[in-house]
Structures are given as structure tokens and as C-alpha cells.
Chains A and B, each alone.
Chain A
Amino acid sequence: MIRTVLFAAAAMLGAAIALAQAGGPHGPPPPYPLRPAYPAGDRHAPGGDGKVLFEAHCGYCHLAGGMGSNLITKQQVMMGHAPDQGLLANRSDLTADYVKAVVRNGKGAMPIQTRVDITDAELDAVARYLGKAG
């Protein structure tokens, strides 16, 4: 719990450096998660691999230790849920429409994603992958 909160609240570079120093009693910081390469081919074609597209396009923030994961972990813990619910891939309560709405409208610290960041077809695939609640 302490570790969760520790990683969930950071600010600017000073905090990132402080996070890098946050070994000791809480263990080492999480390792760097290597993202898959962007899939080749037509980015507007439907039927992409949602997991690969999620990790490639959203992994900057939503893999373990990322900005989005840290903030969501804190929110989930405050709601009484397990810390692993901070990773979107572990969630079972997300719907595809909700995922699309957050990506295209932004939410809290999450900025709106452009259609160059992630195309509508790519977002459909990611929303299908994350939207385990339908």
C-alpha cells in the first residue's frame, strides 16, 4: 500500500528523479517495460490486434509504472480495489464505449488523443481488447 501510494504521486522531473531513488525499503523501481513495435500496414484497416495496439500506442503511460497506471492505481486503491486494477489490461469493468470516450474526450490528467496518435480503427481494436465489460 505504501509502495502503491509512493508510485502514485509524483511531480515533474524532481519527482521522477526522486522516484528513481526510491529503492531501499520499498524495493527497486519497476523495470522499463519494452513496448511492441507499431504494426505495419494500413492504420485505417479494421481488425488489428488490440493488445499489441494498446501496448504500442498507450504503453507510454498505461504499462506498469507509467503515469496513467500510477494515477489510476491511486484512484482504485482509494476506492477499495486492488492495486493491480491500476493497469487497464487487468480491468474487467471497462466498456468499449467508455474507453473510446476517454481517448477522444480526455479525462483528468489524460489528454485527448488525436487521430494520428491512434486512428479510429486502432481505437476500435484497443476498445475491444480493454472493454471486457462489453
Chain B
Amino acid sequence: MQDRIGRDSPVKLHLPPRVSPQGFAAALKAYAGVVGKDWVMASESDRDAYSDIYAPGDAAQWAASAAVAPANVEEVRACLRLANEHKTPLWPVARGKNLGYGTAAPRMAGSIVLDLGRMNKIIDIDPKLATCVVEPGVGFFDLHDAILRGNHPLWMSVPGNGWGSVIGNALDHGIGYTPYGLHARNLCGLEVVLPDGDLLRTGMGAMSNNPAWHHFPFSYGPTFDLAFTQSNLGVVTKAGLWLQPAPEASLELIFDIPEEGDIGWVVDTIAPMKISGLIEQNVFIPSWLGKMVLKGQRHDFWDKPGAIPEWRVAELLKQYKLGYWQVALRLYGEEPVIKAKAEIVKAAMKRHLAAPPQENWWRQGDAIGQYEITMGVPSAVPLQMSDWIGGRGAHMGFSPVVPASSEHVLGQLKRSRKIIADHDVDFYASFTIGGRFANNINMLMYDRDDAPMVENMKALFNALITQTAKAGYGEYRTHLGWMDPVMDTFDFNNHALRRFDEKVKSALDPNGIIAPGKQGVWPAAYAAQRHSAPQDGAGKGGKA
């Protein structure tokens, strides 16, 4: 399949619920009157382009009917008014690169993608107070390059895939690996178009021309900023973002951690230093597979179907002198401070691990390589993982959050290891210590053209959600196909969170025109579409 130029079967036109062909054509004509006919994209090829490129199964389950690309906030407002008038729901995407979680595709088939990619202005970069103001179409590469061109002493925080939007990733609760790695927390002051086309500015921006809009994170009264993240309550058209001042120096300490069970003491050692502030970054701890892929493709090491057996894993780790985990920890700041911190970190690790870490210093003026994600350099190279499995490779992440202590981390590890082994799939996990919590990402890689493999992944994903929820843990983010089942797992007081979300949603958006079904929140107007993705346990209650 490597040489294949092709795609899924073309995504057939799937109209929005209750909209006739004539009504749909009239809506597209009306949108063209706002954005220009060239920015209404409704061909078969366009529908394919807005489908989920990593779709587990038929991408038509999440088929966009068309895409509309406004150029500015006034056009966004006009599009929302038209969506209400024509009852054509919109699925806003910033750049549409949410790979592994649905790409640009909408949760509800027939939705029109509102592609904000043309809105790509970097409105301001302030090196003094380390802020910027950007539109949603600004990608990590764009902002990074603008900072470089301006020679600004600023660093970004970037996720594993740097191809996407700075704002889009923050709004979807994306995570990076620097001191600014909780991206939603970097947002400061939003401009939001509401479902009726009204325009809101949060924080100090609620006052006309207030210069503190992107410096003070709260509104006068209730602060709704986070209500617009993983949300269908509005379309964010502009945001302030805090950036990291470029440090004078940085030191990377790389520890190879030999045994699987060592993750317990690793977390108990690092989390307190992260909570105290001694370690500032989000510490990323991947399992061995992250290094093994440097040595070749999967079939170079194990050419049979099914998971690589444990005896072979042990052989490979021994042969290539790899630890089961790796901690690549980075310190930032003034050199004497880094040196003092490094001594504390090394002493803490030495209580459990005799081998000293590899040390890589960087100082102002030194070049920064293009793969330095922990120094805020964006890269799309991590997406090469598809090449490991071969074919038309794809991935999904199962991403529960646990408290950052050995008890919870080891419990989660043992549970997911068993479920993944029961489905005969390779285990590739990471824990990212963000302070008091750890994000556990279990990477599930598959060949989209291998139907039995895809079916097995779907069954595995369902089992992971169900059994993890039974143990009391939930996911922080998920693919379109599992937004309802994951929302089902948040069950306190008869799903009070969802009941609240949907009460607010239906009040603000009575026609349900912004992103129906996003994160399992359905407006009354489209409540019948809940559990409309076939693989999500529809009809089985979807309840963990």
C-alpha cells in the first residue's frame, strides 16, 4: 500500500438532519455570499479532504457535507447567523489537524466544517511581557517562525504534532513538554462569536480598549474562558497566549529506567519536584517502543501478527541496551540555578538508580535542533509513527488521567497492559507528569486498510474505556467515535455534568448550530443523534 495514491471510497454527500437538497443548496449559496464562492468547498474531493484521515473504520461515519472558510470575525458572525437561518450545523476547526482525535471531521455527519484556517494573523507579539495575540489559523510553525524572524527572546510550548493550530490545540486541552505545557492555561483573554452571532470578549477585554486583556486571566464576575474549551458554546476567533521567556540556559538530563515496574518510584520521585516548582516542565516518560522505532520498522524485529511477545521484548531491550522507560528531563533558567537544581534531581534519582544521567547543556547562542520539542520547536516528525506499523498507518490515543503517585500509576499501567495484551496488540504507553496528575497515553497504531486489525482496535478501545472507568478513572480527550461513551463515564449524580452542559448548550444555542455532539454534549435540536457512531456501544447503553 506504500505506493498507493488513493483514499477511502469517496465520502458521499450526507445532508444535515432535516435539511432538503434544495435547502442545502440555498444554504451554500448564502454562505458563498458571505465568504465568496471559492471559499465554499462542497465537492466530493472537498468532503474527502475534511474526513478523518486516521478514521478507525469508514470515514463516512463522520462525513462533512461541505466546508466554509471565513476570512475574519465579521464573516464568522455572518456564517453563524446563516447557520441558524438554514439550520445547517457548523463544526468549527482552527486548522483541522487534530490527528488521532478526528482530524477536521465533524462528530455529526452532515455538519458543515467551519474552517478558520484563513484567519491566520499573528496580531501581536510582546517580548517584554511574553504574550502574543493570534487568530485560530495560526499554526505552531507559523508562530515559531514569526518569533524567529522577529528575533524575540521567547519560546513556545508545542505538542507532539506541531502541524496544528496554537489556539485549536489549547482549546482542545492539548499538552506540551515545557514549563508552559498545559496549553489551555496559557490562554488569556478570548474573543468568541456566540451561537446567535453576538461577539464576546472575555477577561479585561470585556472593557473596550483595555490594555490588560491578555495579561490578567479573569473576568469581572464569572470567568467563562475555559467553558469555551472542548466546547460547542462559541467560536473562538482570537486569543491571547502567554509564552515562555527564552531562558539563559537549559540542561537535559536523560535517565534510562530499566524495569517496567520502576515507573512507580520514578513518578514518586519526580512528581513532588514538579509540584514544588523545582522541575517546571511537564515530564514526558515514554516506554521503550519510542526508542526502538529508531532502529527500523516493526517487521524488522517481529514479523508475525499479534503483539511482540514479552520474551522478544526482553531480548530487544538487552540487545539494544534500552531501558523499559526513559526520562528526558529538562531544566530551564540561569546556569547556577540549573546546576543547583540538577544536583537535587540527580541525588533524588540516585536513590533508586545507580547509573548517572546523560547531560546535554544548551546556552544562549547555541543552535537548537529541529526535533527539540522540549525547547518549544514544532515538528510533524512524531507523526511518522505510521511508518512503524506499515501500510496506510494511523493511530488513536487512549488517554486517561490519574493522580501522579505510584499507587495510581502502577494500577493504571497494570490494567491497561492486561487489556492491551488480551487484544494481542503491542504496548506503547507514556506517562506525562503535569504536577499532581499524570496523563497516561496509550498509543494504538493500526493499518487503516487491515479491516480485522481496525475492528480489534475498536474493541480494544471500548474495553479500555469501560474497564478504566470501572476502576474510577476518565479520559481527558478522545476521538469523535467515542465522545459519547467517554461522556457516559462521567456519571456522578446521574450525569450531572452532561445535564448541566446540555442545559447551557440548548439555552445558548437553541438551533444547535455549533458543533452538535462535541465531547458528548448534544443540543436538544439534535439529541436524537447521540450514540450515532456505530462502534461506540450504541444500543448497549454505552455505559461503563
Contacts from A to B (Cβ < 8 Å): 5-6, 9-22, 28-35, 37-38, 44, 59-61, 65-67, 70-71, 74-75, 101-102, 104-109, 111-117, 119
**Interface residue from A17, A35, A71 paired with B328 (Cβ < 8 Å):** A17
How many whole Å from A4's CB to the nearest CB in chain B?
12
Give chain A residues whose Cβ lies under 8 Å from the Cβ of B51.
112
Assembled-state Cα–Cα distance A67/B160 (Å):
13
**Interface residue from A9, A16, A107, A116 paired with B4 (Cβ < 8 Å):** A107
Assembled-state Cα–Cα distance A43/B365 (Å):
37
B368 within 8 A of A: yes
Assembled-state Cα–Cα distance A17/B284 (Å):
10
Q: Which residues of B374-418 are within 8 A (CB) of A? A: 374, 377, 379-388, 392-393, 395
Known: A18-B326, A31-B367, A31-B370. 17 other contacts (CB 8 A): A11-B290, A11-B445, A12-B395, A15-B294, A17-B373, A21-B252, A21-B358, A29-B369, A33-B370, A60-B162, A61-B380, A104-B45, A105-B5, A105-B48, A109-B387, A111-B53, A112-B51
Q: How large is the interface on B (under 10, 10 to 19, 20 to 34, 35 or more residues)?
A: 35 or more
B427 within 8 A of A: no
Among B117, B294, B445, chain A packs the most CB atoms within 10 A around the CB of B294
- Are B384 and A109 in contact, with the CB atoms below 8 A? yes
Question: Would A18 and B7 be within 8 Å (CB), given that A34-B149, A35-B145 are in contact?
Answer: no
| 0/1 interface trace, chain B 225-245, chain A, CB 8 Å (1 if under) | 000000000000000000000
- Are B50 and A105 in contact, with the CB atoms below 8 A? no
Assembled-state Cα–Cα distance A80/B180 (Å):
44
- Are A13 and B49 in contact, with the CB atoms below 8 A? no
- Are A29 and B294 in contact, with the CB atoms below 8 A? no
**Interface residue from A9, A29, A114 paired with B387 (Cβ < 8 Å):** A9
Give chain B residues whose Cβ lies under 8 Å from the Cβ of A20.
369, 371-374
Assembled-state Cα–Cα distance A21/B369 (Å):
10
| 0/1 interface trace, chain B 428-472, chain A, CB 8 Å (1 if under) | 101000000000000101000000000000000000000000000
- Please give me the residue from chain B that is nearest to A33 by CB atom: B370
Give chain A residues whose Cβ lies under 8 Å from the Cβ of B4.
107-108
Give chain A residues whose Cβ lies under 8 Å from the Cβ of B392.
108
Assembled-state Cα–Cα distance A3/B160 (Å):
23
Give chain B residues whose Cβ lies under 8 Å from the Cβ of A105.
5-7, 48
**Interface residue from A17, A59, A101, A117 paired with B374 (Cβ < 8 Å):** A17
- Are A108 and B46 in contact, with the CB atoms below 8 A? no
Among B291, B326, B380, chain A packs the most CB atoms within 10 A around the CB of B380
Give chain B residues whose Cβ lies under 8 Å from the Cβ of A117.
117
Question: Would A17 and B371 be within 8 Å (CB), given that A66-B380, A114-B115, A115-B46 are in contact?
Answer: yes
Question: Would A12 and B67 be within 8 Å (CB), given that A28-B369, A30-B370, A108-B4 are in contact?
Answer: no
- Are A67 and B145 in contact, with the CB atoms below 8 A? no
Assembled-state Cα–Cα distance A101/B428 (Å):
34
B90 within 8 A of A: no
| 0/1 interface trace, chain B 253-297, chain A, CB 8 Å (1 if under) | 010000000000000000000000000000010110111011111
- Are B46 and A114 in contact, with the CB atoms below 8 A? yes
Give chain A residues whose Cβ lies under 8 Å from the Cβ of B69.
116
Give chain A residues whose Cβ lies under 8 Å from the Cβ of B428.
11-12
Give chain A residues whose Cβ lies under 8 Å from the Cβ of B49.
104, 112-115
- Are B41 and A6 in contact, with the CB atoms below 8 A? no
B209 within 8 A of A: no
6 pairs across A/B with beta carbons < 8 Å? A10-B382, A65-B370, A71-B384, A105-B5, A106-B6, A116-B67
Assembled-state Cα–Cα distance A14/B53 (Å):
22
Give chain B residues whose Cβ lies under 8 Å from the Cβ of A44.
38
- Please give me the residue from chain A that is nearest to B99 by CB atom: A111
Give chain A residues whose Cβ lies under 8 Å from the Cβ of B379.
16, 67
Assembled-state Cα–Cα distance A61/B177 (Å):
21
Which 10 pairs between the two chains have the least Cβ-Cβ distance?
Answer: A14-B290, A14-B286, A11-B385, A11-B293, A29-B369, A13-B160, A20-B371, A116-B117, A32-B370, A114-B49
- Are B117 and A11 in contact, with the CB atoms below 8 A? no
B141 within 8 A of A: yes
B543 within 8 A of A: no
Question: Would A13 and B382 be within 8 Å (CB), given that A30-B370, A106-B7, A116-B118 are in contact?
Answer: yes
Q: Which residues of B325-377 are within 8 A (CB) of A? A: 326, 328, 358, 360, 367-374, 377
How many whole Å from B255's CB to the nearest CB in chain A?
12
Assembled-state Cα–Cα distance A65/B4 (Å):
23
- Are B373 and A60 in contact, with the CB atoms below 8 A? no
- Are A29 and B371 in contact, with the CB atoms below 8 A? yes
Assembled-state Cα–Cα distance A74/B120 (Å):
33
B148 within 8 A of A: yes
B163 within 8 A of A: yes
Assembled-state Cα–Cα distance A106/B55 (Å):
14
How many whole Å from A76's CB to the nearest CB in chain B?
12
B84 within 8 A of A: no
Among A11, A18, A34, chain B packs the most CB atoms within 10 A around the CB of A11
Give chain B residues whose Cβ lies under 8 Å from the Cβ of A107.
4-5
Assembled-state Cα–Cα distance A111/B53 (Å):
6
Give chain A residues whose Cβ lies under 8 Å from the Cβ of B367.
28, 31
Question: Would A19 and B294 be within 8 Å (CB), given that A13-B160, A34-B145 are in contact?
Answer: yes
Among B7, B39, B384, B386, chain A packs the most CB atoms within 10 A around the CB of B384
Give chain A residues whose Cβ lies under 8 Å from the Cβ of B370.
29-33, 65
- Are B5 and A12 in contact, with the CB atoms below 8 A? no
- Are B388 and A9 in contact, with the CB atoms below 8 A? yes
Assembled-state Cα–Cα distance A5/B300 (Å):
13
- Please give me the residue from chain A that is nearest to B175 by CB atom: A13
Give chain B residues whose Cβ lies under 8 Å from the Cβ of A15.
290-291, 293-294, 381-382, 384-385
Give chain A residues whose Cβ lies under 8 Å from the Cβ of B328.
17, 21
- Are B115 and A12 in contact, with the CB atoms below 8 A? no
Assembled-state Cα–Cα distance A63/B372 (Å):
16
How many whole Å from A24's CB to the nearest CB in chain B?
10
Q: Which residues of B82-115 are within 8 A (CB) of A? A: 96, 99, 103-104, 115
